[in-house]
Each structure stands twice: as structure tokens, then as C-alpha cells.
């Protein structure tokens, strides 16, 4: 009995530590003192860099000798920090520890057109290579294929196997496999639904939905978002609507709200 209690306490402790760690990881990306900042450079003066974070805090940062600065996909552009560049940076007491910079990217939603869903990788490569130089840069990806300030730079670096700063067709194909809408549009929702519905009752419970998505990360959040009528399971219609919103972010409720708000602000 005592043994059981000890084990239970230990399990609870581990669980508690893990959940506070998770909380910490989430927190560190938000707020005026976050240690990770994703945003846009607004001003540069000597070794001082001002960054407006995604959650709208102006951060006054300093570069010192230890700061590691990476310029992602600058190709023929001079590797100097300038206003409007996108930045993701880790800081300690507002000193830059490491930073990755990219050329300016749009704030608008980037999503595929229905035609793009049917294109082959070489066809997509051609339309993404906006300047037609035979290579796809990070800025071109962020304009045409997918805009992801948080994960985009890391995904691009991984795909750029030869570290040339741009993607050739082979590397571009790797990038596609890291692109959400690409992965979700290789099969129809029906084709994805059937094998995931293990007990064949025509509905997906949470475990089956994980099979449907092919991943378990953030499962609760995604499941709740998909389960529109809060029945605790998903029918094909709900699952298909979920996929549709993931492929076309402009169809997500929060983005529709944001767009309406912007429109109102423009017409006072």
C-alpha cells in the first residue's frame, strides 16, 4: 500500500513537472519578456535592434560578440540586418543569443489555389520560383506556398540539403512533404476516413482521429475544433470540413473574424 502511494506520488510529481514545463514553453513565446521572439525588425542602429513581436510588443535588443546571427536564403542580398526583415530570435536580458533573419514576408494569409492542389511538384516549383532563377528562395515559399513565421525557417533549412540558401527541385519536393496543405490533399477525405475508422461505425473518436491526421500532437485542440456539434465524435462531413479549413486557412473562423475586423477599421 505504502509502495503504491509512493509510486502514485512520483507519477503525480512527474506529471506536474511535465505540465509546468509545457506551460513554460508556451509562455516563453508570448508576452513582453518572452525569451523567444518572432516578429519583424523595425529599426537598426549600430548594435541595437528593435523588433516588433507577433503579439505586438516592441523589444529593444542588443547584439554582442556572442550573438549568433543567421541570414536564411539571402542568395544575392547583402547579409546585413535591416528594417522590415522577419526575425526569430532567442534573447537573454534582451541580449540576442541567436537570431534567424529572412527577407520581408507578407502578413496576409498564404494558401493554395484549387489548381495548385492538382499540380505536380515540378509545376508547383515553376509557379513558386517567382523570379524564374531556377531556385526557390525562402521569400518565394512564404509568398506562394505557405507562410509560417514560427516553423517556416526551420523547415526551409532542413529542406535546403546542400545549404545553398535556396531550393532546387529535389529539395523543393522535400519542402512539400513538410507543407501542411500538400500532405492533407494527397488523398480525398473519404480515402483518409475509411482506414482511420477502425471499428467501422462511420464516426471517428479521438484515437481514430489521430490516425486520420497521421499525428498525435495537439490532438485535443484539433479534435475540439473539428467536432463542431460537440458530440464527442466526428462524422465524415466534420472531418472533411476540418481538412478543408486546414488546407485553406482563410476559411478558419478566427481568420474570418480578423478579416472582418480589418475591413471595419479601414472603413470607419
Tell me the residue number closest to Ca ion, measured at CB: 164
| Of residues 53 and 135, the one with the C-beta less far from Ca ion | 135
Place of cell 544575392: 76
Q: How far is the CB of 235 from Ca ion (least distance, A)?
A: 10
**Distances from the Cα of 115 to the Cαs of 118, 126, 256, in angstroms?**
5, 14, 22
| Of residues 164 and 231, the one with the C-beta less far from Ca ion | 164
Name the segment binding Ca ion (CB under 5 A); options: 31-39, 56-64, 85-93, 161-169. 161-169
Site string for Ca ion, 113-142 (x = CB under 5 A): ----------------x-x-x-x-------
The total of other beta-carbon atoms located within 10 Å of residue 258's CB is 13
In this structure, are residues 40 and 84 in contact, taking their beta carbons and an 8 Å threshold?
Answer: yes
Q: How far apart are CA 119 and CA 140, in angstroms?
A: 17
Q: How far is the CB of 74 from Ca ion (least distance, A)?
A: 13
Quick one: which of 160, 227, 238, 246 contacts Ca ion (CB under 5 A)? 160
Using CB under 5 A as the binding rule, whether residue 199 contacts Ca ion is answered as: yes
| Of residues 70 and 252, the one with the C-beta less far from Ca ion | 70
Using CB under 5 A as the binding rule, whether residue 164 contacts Ca ion is answered as: yes
Q: How far apart are CA 206 and CA 221, in angstroms?
A: 11
| Of residues 31 and 232, the one with the C-beta less far from Ca ion | 232
Quick one: which of 73, 86, 181, 197 contacts Ca ion (CB under 5 A)? 197
Using CB under 5 A as the binding rule, whether residue 260 contacts Ca ion is answered as: no
Task: Identify the three-state secondary structure at position 13.
Answer: helix
Q: How far is the CB of 90 from Ca ion (least distance, A)?
A: 25
Long-range contacts of 253-261 (CB under 8 A, 24+ apart): 255/109
Name the segment binding Ca ion (CB under 5 A); options: 157-165, 178-186, 218-226, 244-252. 157-165
DSSP symbol at 250: G
> DSSP per residue over 61-105, as a string?
EE--TT-EEEETT-TTS-----TT-EEEEEEETTEEEEEEEES--
Binding site for Ca ion (CB under 5 A): 129, 131, 133, 135, 160, 162, 164, 171, 197, 199, 201, 203, 208
Amino acid at each position: 500500500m505504502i509502495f503504491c502511494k509512493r509510486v502514485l506520488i512520483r507519477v503525480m510529481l512527474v506529471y506536474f513537472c511535465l505540465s509546468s514545463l509545457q506551460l513554460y514553453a508556451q509562455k516563453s513565446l508570448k508576452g513582453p519578456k518572452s525569451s523567444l521572439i518572432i516578429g519583424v525588425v523595425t529599426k537598426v542602429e549600430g548594435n541595437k535592434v528593435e523588433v516588433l513581436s507577433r503579439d505586438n510588443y516592441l523589444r529593444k535588443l542588443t547584439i554582442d560578440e556572442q550573438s549568433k546571427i543567421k541570414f536564411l536564403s539571402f542568395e544575392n542580398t547583402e547579409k546585413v540586418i535591416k528594417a522590415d526583415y522577419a526575425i526569430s530570435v532567442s534573447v537573454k536580458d534582451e541580449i540576442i543569443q541567436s537570431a534567424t533573419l529572412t527577407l520581408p514576408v507578407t502578413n496576409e494569409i498564404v494558401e493554395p489555389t484549387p489548381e495548385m492542389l492538382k499540380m505536380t511538384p515540378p509545376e508547383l516549383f515553376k509557379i513558386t520560383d517567382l523570379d524564374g532563377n531556377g531556385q526557390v528562395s525562402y521569400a518565394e515559399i512564404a509568398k506562394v506556398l505557405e507562410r509560417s513565421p514560427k516553423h517556416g525557417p526551420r523547415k526551409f533549412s532542413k529542406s535546403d540539403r546542400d545549404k545553398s540558401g535556396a531550393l532546387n527541385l529535389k529539395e523543393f519536393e522535400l519542402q512539400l512533404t513538410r507543407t501542411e496543405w500538400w500532405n492533407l490533399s494527397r488523398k480525398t477525405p473519404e480515402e483518409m476516413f475509411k482506414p482511420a475508422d477502425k471499428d467501422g461505425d462511420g464516426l471517428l473518436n479521438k484515437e481514430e482521429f489521430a490516425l486520420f491526421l497521421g499525428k498525435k500532437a495537439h490532438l485535443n485542440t484539433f479534435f475540439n475544433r473539428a467536432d463542431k456539434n460537440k458530440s464527442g465524435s466526428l462524422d465524415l462531413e466534420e472531418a472533411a470540413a476540418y481538412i478543408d479549413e486546414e488546407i485553406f486557412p482563410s476559411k478558419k473562423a478566427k481568420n474570418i473574424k480578423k478579416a472582418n475586423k480589418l475591413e471595419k477599421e479601414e472603413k470607419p
